[in-house]
Amino acid sequence: AQSVTQLDSHVSVSEGTPVLLRCNYSSSYSPSLFWYVQHPNKGLQLLLKYTSAATLVKGINGFEAEFKKSETSFHLTKPSAHMSDAAEYFCVVTFKYTGTASKLTFGTGTRLQVTL
């Protein structure tokens, strides 16, 4: 069985300050891990992915995440928040589902608020 825990349901930062969104996972297998972002009334956009290569993963829009196996964590960071980063962020773990389909296990989401 696998699960994802997003430790904060809501994070508020000032524009220009660092962002940290926390995620812990549990998986029986070597996991593939993702962060998705969802802006209001929009679909989910893939920010970055970890696939057992480099543990520090760089994504779009200046985001990055570090896979720490010893801590079972995959926290998302950004050095400087921008107003456009305000959105819902989902940490996701996946495994091979049926023969070739994948099944995503979502965290409960973290709403990021960015203030002036």
Partner 1 sequence: DAMVIQNPRYQVTQFGKPVTLSCSQTLNHNVMYWYQQKSSQAPKLLFHYYDKDFNNEADTPDNFQSRRPNTSFCFLDIRSPGLGDAAMYLCATSSGGRVPYEQYFGPGTRLTVT
Q: Is residue 10 part of the contact set for partner 1 (CB under 8 A)? A: no
Among 45, 59, 73, 74, contact with partner 1 (rule: CB under 8 A)? 45
Q: Is residue 107 part of the contact set for partner 1 (CB under 8 A)? A: yes
Cβ contact 31:79 at 8 Å: no
Helix (H, G, I), strand (E, B) or coil at 4: strand
Q: Is residue 60 part of the contact set for partner 1 (CB under 8 A)? A: no
The rounded distance, in Å, linking the Cα atoms of 27 and 103 is 13
Segment lying near partner 1 (by CB under 8 A), choices 17-25, 47-55, 66-74, 77-85: 47-55
Q: Is residue 83 part of the contact set for partner 1 (CB under 8 A)? A: no
Segment lying near partner 1 (by CB under 8 A), choices 12-20, 65-73, 77-85, 105-113: 105-113
User: Residue for token digits 């802006």?
Assistant: 39
Cβ proximity to partner 1: between 15 and 24 the closer is 24
The residues of the shown chain that bind partner 1, judged by CB under 8 A, are 32, 34, 36, 41-46, 49-51, 90, 94-96, 98-104, 106-109
